[in-house]
Structure 1
Amino acid sequence: MTANAIDSKKPTTKQELIAANVKLLIEQLEAGHSEALTDYLTAMSRFHNYSFGNVLEIARQMPTATRVAGFWAWKNLGRSVNAGAKGIRILAPIVGVRRKKAVEAEKDITKQNERVLVDFRNAYVFDISQTNGVDLPSMHEVSGDPGENIERLAAFIKGQGIQLVYNPKIAPALGMSYGGRIAILPGQTKAEEFSTLVHETAHEMLHKAERRTATTKTARETEAEAVAFVVGKAVGLVNGTASADYIQLYHGNASLLAESLEVIQQTASVILGGLEPAVASEETPQQQEEDPELQEAA
């Protein structure tokens, strides 16, 4: 089913809407990586995964750093380090080759030499904020206007006994779920903020206590983002392939989503129910008693 098919069919109930949006997400996952995700993964493969020690060094020297790479790595990505930029010092390994003894080498001719760590040397990397040039590829983002649904969602979260805070220190994460507490990165667009809130709320509802230990990271992220996709689409946000890209970034797929279909649908239904405005009666019971027509109809 395509997006146009969903629009033309006009699901009439909440459950039909959830089912239609889940089916759309499954089809996006079955279609494979979007072009945006492929470009993003290609660019990210150019960056190193730094050791814990180097991560601490980077954070100590530049707490605001988000994406770092060496001088030539930035060149290969189409960006140049700004003149006068101060590099962030890290330790880079020096790897040498140790030849095996002749007797050992004869046992396995393919493993005559062995790579060994010899020492460390100083190396320098630069944050993206210290560079200029072409923009790095990025994944699609959620857009649209959730309207009053952000306030309704915040009220729903608090009604579940979950604390909601906005904390810039969680960057580069957009949101974090701590079990009874959700932290959101301030400064997001309204659409992104709403989607992030739903994602973290799904974590709170699905991935605590026993179920957390019974599921994998991939399954948990697939479920939370699927709920965010379904709820976001239901309130009119434009998701495109943003959720499918996110799920695939965590190695999730349509098969894994299908295995969690029931909990995704149930959780989305509960959250959507929490977003429904309270229906207030236009007349008080006393007014109804005083109205002869209403009394006669009763």
Structure 2
Amino acid sequence: MNTIAAIEAKKPTTKQELIAANIKLLIEQLEAGHSEALTHYLTAMSRFHNYSFGNVLEIARQMPAASRIAGFWTWKNLGRSVNAGAKGIRILAPIVGVRRKKDIEAEKDITKQNERMLLGFRNAYVFDISQTNGVDLPEMESVIGDPGENIERLTAFLTSKGIAVSYSEKIAPALGISYGGRITLLPGQSKAETFSTLVHEAGHELLHRSERRTATTKTMRETEAEAVAFVVGKAVGLVNGSAPADYIQLYKGNASLLAESLEVIQQTASVILAALEPPVAEELPNEELAGIAA
């Protein structure tokens, strides 16, 4: 019986059982390896080049809103075509040549008879995804569902802890950023994604400040924060699919690393879930509320 079936067969009865069951499910997903969605995404992303710092500045100068850049034929291979009349973004592409070694040098090491060398640079033109059309690029799964009032409750909890929550388009393409005492979210996400991102960044705020930040790696911090988001999201009824496991694997996280952090993940998820519980008065029947008012 797999983990999902086991959870369905025996519903967790306490918050701690629920947290443990969902962590077990996440570990199982990580042990299963890359999802099909993540595999397709990584394959597509591998076709994009990493540009030099100088070219990044050139791209930003010519098209500040650019998000995904590639050459004409790369877009073709990805199933997209550059729009007619689109103005290319000029960058400098290296010209690489081969210098043949002298016979005497080549005889010393026959495996290295030729040597690649930089001859110079030439103008080349690339295009942003907004200048193309065609098939959609593969994407990883996203969180879906209705978090209800939990965004407001979690925001109020964080505010009470001195952690401000704001929204800004300037952080794109990041969905959220934790600054230490302040969280900024990208507007325009679905409610489910907004809540999941907020929990993720709240995990960073609660787990990865002061001395613990320096004692952990980025991979560990992202694994812990996303595990907290997965556990809390599942607990409030969101459908996570493989999204959290895919995110963790993008940062080279795995089941072993997750297992090392179980205690802090459980504690943090428990704190957040407690903060999401509705006030007692909301759970009382109308007759009892009337009695209290009288």
Q: TM-score range, shorter-chain basis? A: over 0.9
> Which residue of the partner structure matches residue 25 of structure 2?
24
Check if 1:167 corresponds to 2:168: yes
> Which residue of the partner structure matches residue 70 of structure 1?
71
> Which residue of the partner structure matches residue 249 of structure 1?
250
The Cα shift of 1:254 comes to 0.6
CA distance in structure 1 between the aligned counterparts of 2:229 and 2:102, rounded to whole angstroms: 59
CA distance in structure 2 between the aligned counterparts of 1:261 and 1:104, rounded to whole angstroms: 58
The Cα shift of 1:287 comes to 7.0
Asked if the contact 2:147/2:195 (under 8 Å) is kept, the reply is yes
Structure 2: where are the runs of 5+ without partners? none
What's the CA shift string for 1:144-172, capped at 9, x where partnerless?
00000000011111112112110101111
The Cα shift of 1:209 comes to 2.3
What's the CA shift string for 1:88-142, capped at 9, x where partnerless?
1111111122234545433322122222222111111111111111111111000
What's the CA shift string for 1:19-38, capped at 9, x where partnerless?
00000000000011111111
Report the AA paired with residue 176 of structure 1: I
> Which residue of the partner structure matches residue 157 of structure 2?
156
Seq. identity, %: 81
Asked if the contact 2:230/2:240 (under 8 Å) is kept, the reply is yes
Structure 1: where are the runs of 5+ without partners? 291-298
Q: Which moved more, 1:264-273 or 1:186-195?
A: 264-273
> Which residue of the partner structure matches residue 206 of structure 1?
207
Report the AA paired with residue 46 of structure 1: R
Aligned length: 288
CA distance in structure 2 between the aligned counterparts of 1:73 and 1:140, rounded to whole angstroms: 24
> Which residue of the partner structure matches residue 36 of structure 2?
35
What's the CA shift string for 1:160-186, capped at 9, x where partnerless?
211211010111110111111111000
Asked if the contact 2:3/2:24 (under 8 Å) is kept, the reply is no
The Cα shift of 1:216 comes to 1.4
Q: Which moved more, 1:1-10 or 1:222-231?
A: 1-10
Report the AA paired with residue 202 of structure 1: G
Report the AA paired with residue 119 of structure 1: G
> Which residue of the partner structure matches residue 6 of structure 1?
7
Matches within 5 A, 1:258-269: 258-269=259-270
- Computed over aligned residues only, the root mean square deviation of the Cα atoms, in angstroms, reads 2.0
TM-score, with structure 1 as normaliser = 0.91
Report the AA paired with residue 260 of structure 1: S
Q: Which moved more, 1:58-67 or 1:251-260?
A: 58-67
